[in-house]
């Protein structure tokens, strides 16, 4: 079972804690001393799919030296202002077999990443891979 909580600390600012004991500042206001809730959703998506890709590449014994996943998103103009488009960019260094990387990204999106599966209900998610040596 997963759990999380937030505690209001003033304004539109909260301190969140996950069941694992790790905390995060959540700021829904304009001053932004923490990430907004929707920014944290994107961080969760990037972390989820990056974890999948690392696991898949390791299982395929495909070496790589670095991986970074970034996301840009568009939201609906009216509440609940869900994400409608998300563009993921995977920057990978040291991969020899590009097909292995492409397969890992596809499998993450289509099968393994639970965050992606939830967000695909409202958002079109696209992915690009940038290779570096």
Q: Can you give the pLDDT at residue 122?
A: 97
Q: Which pLDDT tens digit goes with each residue over 29-70?
A: 988 899 999 999 999 999 999 999 999 999 999 999 999 999
Q: Is 60 helix (H, G, I), strand (E, B) or coil?
A: coil
CATH architecture of 1-35: Single Sheet (2.20)
Q: Can you give the pLDDT at residue 31?
A: 84
Q: Which residues contact 32 (CB under 8 A, 6 or more apart)?
A: none
Confirm if 57 and 64 have CB atoms less than 8 A apart. Answer: yes
Q: Can you give the pLDDT at residue 118?
A: 97
Fold that domain 37-132 belongs to in CATH: GMP Synthetase; Chain A, domain 3 (3.30.300)
Q: Check whether 114 has a pLDDT greater than 90.
A: yes
Q: Check whether 22 has a pLDDT greater than 90.
A: yes
CA distances in angstroms from 131 to 58, 73, 81, 90, listed in the order given: 17, 22, 33, 8
Q: Can you give the pLDDT at residue 41?
A: 97
Percent of the chain with pLDDT over 70: 100
* Whole-structure pTM value: 0.94
DSSP state of 110: I
User: In the chain, which ranges are E strands?
Assistant: 4-10, 13-18, 23-27, 66-75, 83-93, 124-132
Q: Which pLDDT tens digit goes with each residue over 71-109?
A: 999 999 999 999 999 999 999 999 999 999 999 999 999
């Amino acid at each position: 079972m997963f759990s999380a909580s937030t505690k209001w600390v003033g304004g539109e600012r909260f301190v969140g804690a996950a069941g694992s004991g790790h905390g995060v500042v959540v700021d829904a206001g304009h001053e932004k001393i923490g990430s907004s809730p929707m920014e944290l959703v994107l961080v969760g998506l990037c972390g989820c799919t990056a974890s999948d890709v690392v696991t898949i590449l390791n299982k395929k014994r495909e070496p790589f030296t670095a991986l970074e996943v970034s996301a840009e998103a568009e939201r609906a103009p009216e509440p609940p202002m869900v994400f409608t488009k998300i563009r993921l960019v995977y920057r990978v260094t040291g991969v020899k077999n590009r097909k292995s990387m492409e397969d890992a990204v596809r499998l993450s999106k289509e099968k393994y990443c639970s965050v992606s599966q939830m967000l695909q209900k409202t958002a079109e998610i696209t992915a690009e891979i940038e290779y570096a040596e």
